[in-house]
Amino acid sequence: MNTTALIVTFNRLDKLKKCWLSTSMLPFDNIVVVNNCSTDDTATWLESIEDSRLTVLSLTENTGGAGGFRKGAEYITSQINTDWIFIYDDDAYPAPDLLKSFREITLDGISALSCRVIDTHGIDCKMNKPFLKLPQTLRDNVKYFTDSQEFIPGNEKIESCVTLSFVGTIIRQDVMRTSAHYIHDDLFLYYDDVYFSHHLILNGHKFIYVPQLQFIHDISITGNSITPVWKVYYLVRNLILAKKYFQSNCPYSCIGTILRIVKAFSNVLNQDNKFSYIKYIIRGVIDGVFSKSGKRH
């Protein structure tokens, strides 16, 4: 079984070094790193690596996580003969037994797998947990925000799921080959993975959550504080942009979108720069309504 790691990086050389260390120790057949036009010493450091498995894609502009993953996916599916693609950011570190455990999973009829993602303290990263089902009604959304157990898997067993995260997704090469265009690179950051996986679900693909496959995610967003503050712009705008891609089949219902935006507003007291935070939310709402996408911070 041939395996390829796909990693996207931008200006996080210290974390990329940790990511490379944990990745290079695993028996991947190929490792593709997309350098999203980093302005630090990332390019020089990548050039110094002597590993025949490594391919570096150096982009001429920062296209965000969405653009980086799409470029990497298009390259792998057209240039590399592989069976499975492992997708993650430069601040994610695969567990030492990842590939060994992966080879023990029954994969018949499965298009993609979602791994368990924990932070550096060993706590599950909710932002990277897949949905067992997406909340649609008002009742569903209220229940999700108050007690998500019905919608988010535990860690006791393998379960079917309906979304993927681009930290800890393992996807079949043939599925990605026909679906890379569903990675909407104009989102720049956030929800690119949710929308990509929703397209696949609408096309009849099946996913599973496998908690014994693990990544550590060295996340910058902790608790209710969003740093840097401009990230909230994409969290809000890209929710609204879903209508641009799905029309009536959006992964989040209208009420679900509204509640998430309200929640973003209610989080203002936890931010260091409250004025900028509110400004970015308002800009995100306006640009989402008028379908303005791409990098805009």
Q: What CATH number corresponds to the domain at position 38? A: 3.90.550.60
**Of 64-68, 111-115, 272-276, where does mean pLDDT reach its minimum?**
272-276
What is the predicted pLDDT for the residue at 227?
86
What is the predicted pLDDT for the residue at 166?
98
State whether 46 and 149 are in the same domain: yes
Cα(175)–Cα(83) distance, rounded to whole angstroms? 10
Q: Is the pLDDT of residue 79 over 80?
A: yes
pLDDT tens sequence across 21-77:
999 999 999 999 999 999 999 999 999 999 999 999 999 999 999 999 999 999 999
Classify burial at 9, counting beta carbons within 10 Å of its beta carbon; exposed 0-12, middle 13-18, buried 19 or more.
buried
CB contact set of 90 (below 8 Å; sequence gap of 6+): 7, 8, 9, 10, 12, 15, 16, 19
Task: Tell which of 217, 246, 273 closes a domain.
Answer: 217
Within 10 angstroms of residue 230's Cβ, the number of other Cβ atoms is 17
Question: What tokens appear for 284 in the block?
Answer: 């995100």
Q: Does residue 265 lie in a domain region?
A: yes
Handedness of CA 96, 40, 234, 294 (dihedral sign): negative
Task: Tell which of 169, 194, 217 closes a domain.
Answer: 217
Task: Tell which of 217, 246, 279 closes a domain.
Answer: 217
State whether 20 and 54 are in the same domain: yes
What is the predicted pLDDT for the residue at 23?
98
Cα(237)–Cα(216) distance, rounded to whole angstroms? 28
State whether 278 and 191 are in the same domain: no
Q: Does residue 149 lie in a domain region?
A: yes
Total number of domains constituting the chain:
2
What is the predicted pLDDT for the residue at 247?
87
CB contact set of 57 (below 8 Å; sequence gap of 6+): 32, 33, 34, 35, 71, 72, 75
State whether 130 and 82 are in the same domain: yes
Asked if 193 contacts 169 with a C-beta cutoff of 8 angstroms, the reply is yes
pLDDT tens sequence across 165-197:
999 999 999 999 999 999 999 999 999 999 999
Give φ, ψ of 263 to 5 degrees: -60, -40
What is the predicted pLDDT for the residue at 47?
97
Cα(218)–Cα(231) distance, rounded to whole angstroms? 17
Q: For all residues of the chain together, what is the average pLDDT?
A: 96
State whether 280 and 189 are in the same domain: no
Q: Is the pLDDT of residue 221 over 70?
A: no
What is the predicted pLDDT for the residue at 177?
98
Average pLDDT, stretch 252-259? 94
State whether 161 and 129 are in the same domain: yes
Q: Which domain holds residue 273?
A: 231-289
Cα(168)–Cα(99) distance, rounded to whole angstroms? 12
Average pLDDT, stretch 235-246? 96
Cα(291)–Cα(222) distance, rounded to whole angstroms? 29
State whether 171 and 55 are in the same domain: yes
State whether 242 and 141 are in the same domain: no
- Identity of the amino acid at 258: I
Cα dist from 169 to 5, 176, 193, 218, 264, whole Å:
10, 12, 9, 16, 26
Asked if 272 contacts 225 with a C-beta cutoff of 8 angstroms, the reply is yes
Question: What SS3 state is found at 31?
Answer: strand
- Identity of the amino acid at 104: E
What is the predicted pLDDT for the residue at 223?
60
pLDDT tens sequence across 223-236:
678 889 999 999 99
Classify burial at 200, counting beta carbons within 10 Å of its beta carbon; exposed 0-12, middle 13-18, buried 19 or more.
buried
Residue 242 Cα to chain centre, angstroms: 16
Cα(135)–Cα(254) distance, rounded to whole angstroms? 11
State whether 128 and 170 are in the same domain: yes
Q: Is the pLDDT of residue 248 over 90?
A: no
